[in-house]
Amino acid sequence: MLKQIKNIPLSRRMWILAGILLVFVIIYFSGVLAPAGVMVEIKRTKIVKSNFDFIYEHWKEEKLARLRETEDFVKITESSQLKYFLKLCDWVHRQWPRSVPDPYPLGNALDILKDIRSGKTGGFCGQYAYVLADVLKSLGFFNVRYVELWSNRGKNQSHFVVEVWSDRYEKWVILDPDYNLYYEIKSTGLPANAYEIRQSLFGGPAVAARPADSSQMIKEDEQAHFYANFAASLRSDLMRHVKPLTIGDRFDMFLFFRDRNTSDFYPAGGIPYTHVSERVEDLYFDCNAARVEYTIDPGTRDVLLSFYTDGSMPNFKGFSASKDLGKSWVELPGNRLRVKKSTTPVELLLTPVNMYGKPGCLNTIKIEFK
């Protein structure tokens, strides 16, 4: 064997040695066979991002506090996040009977509720959506947006709904406060977003409309045809606006999803939106997420964890961690944590927290010192 190695030219031997060293370096830094004998398993190490920027409502917007103080939706409670969203959707639906918004009100809940209750104007899908979005934001759910829908059953058939990020399911979820419903993927029972409802129209997994109020009777496919074409808003900071949104404003601030199934939906022809994308991730990106990186201290064999949201949580405050599977939580002073060598496995839960104290999606970190 040694004789065979000696017969290899020196330059080639150097390249082989360099290759072997590179393999060990990769293994070392990957933590698979770190010299400390530490195994680290992390649920989330990357965050899916959109190529488009989103403008969120600022947590200090004073109209958010006024909305909480003047309306009784703050009394609504529910342990399940989705059921909580549905109760809020139902609350908005019951504030007024569907009517025509003439004159067209401002795009914030305070003015909409005041003008409709006084008889100055009416409200249909758009007003229900604006109010629900503001209710959600006022409670700390800032990852909320408006979705404009266009049917494939003829031009100028449109609808307006809300999508809110669910930390429980780690996905966007449609809420329709006008018809007081949401959609469920039949095969999984998971709440559906606009893209999934749209896909069901073109051969994807079937969805069914479900009532926000369980006593309400609806048809399973009610209004699903509207989702054949859709655009999601790139901003939700409408509470400070002093003028109602025009049609042109919406076309400028929404991102339209286009693919081979896009139909000719607009009366004037073409796609009227300024922003258009065929990339699903531009509309369906991760929110309220925390990714984790780690290194191993070669001297102490401690694991050094670093946490990042990559801008996925609006109005971000900090991180919280739990060492007892969520029974108790500790606010971290920064974005780093040292886990000292232990004779027993360590399992941590991590979540980002916003300025209203709302936690985000959970990340799990398992560490075993061998």
In the chain, % helix, strand, coil (3-state, to 5) comes to: 25, 25, 50
261 phi, psi to nearest 5 deg: -95, 0
How far is Cα 36 from Cα 304, in angstroms, rounded to an integer?
13
In DSSP notation, 41-52 reads EES-S-----SS
Q: Who's near 291: CB < 8 A, 6+ residues apart?
A: 44, 45, 46, 47, 307, 308, 309, 310, 363
Residue 24: what pLDDT? 54
Place of tokens 């404003």: 249
DSSP β-ladder status, 346-354 and 171-175: unpaired
Contact between 345 and 367 (Cβ < 8 Å): yes
Which tokens go with 66? 């006024």
349 phi, psi to nearest 5 deg: -110, 140
In DSSP notation, 180-231 reads TEEEEETTT-PBP-HHHHHHHTTTS--EEEEESSTT----TTTTGGGGGEEE
Q: What is the mean pLDDT of residues 287-315?
A: 96
How far is Cα 368 from Cα 41, in angstroms, rounded to an integer?
9
How far is Cα 40 from Cα 356, in angstroms, rounded to an integer?
32
pLDDT tier for residue 8 given thresholds of 50, 70 and 90: low
Residue 51: what pLDDT? 98
Q: pLDDT exceeding 90 applies to what percent of the chain?
A: 84
In angstroms, what is the C-alpha Rg of the chain? 26
Residues 99-155 have pLDDT tens digits of 999 999 999 999 999 999 999 999 999 999 999 999 999 999 999 999 999 999 887
- Does 5 have pLDDT greater than 50? no
Span of 51-55, 204-208, 267-271, 287-291 with lowest mean pLDDT: 267-271
- Does 3 have pLDDT greater than 80? no
Residue 216: what pLDDT? 84
Residue 34: what pLDDT? 46
Pick the CATH number of 38-49+287-369 from 2.60.40.10, 3.20.10.10, 3.40.50.1000, 3.90.1150.10: 2.60.40.10
What residue spans define the domains of the chain?
Answer: 1-30, 38-49+287-369, 62-283
Q: Dihedral of CA 235/237/241/245: which sign?
A: positive
- Does 28 have pLDDT greater than 60? no
Q: pLDDT exceeding 70 applies to what percent of the chain?
A: 90
- Does 2 have pLDDT greater than 60? no
Most distant CA pair in the chain: distance in Å?
98
Pick the CATH number of 62-283 from 3.30.70, 2.60.40, 1.10.3470, 3.10.620: 3.10.620
Contact between 186 and 208 (Cβ < 8 Å): yes
Contact between 169 and 190 (Cβ < 8 Å): yes
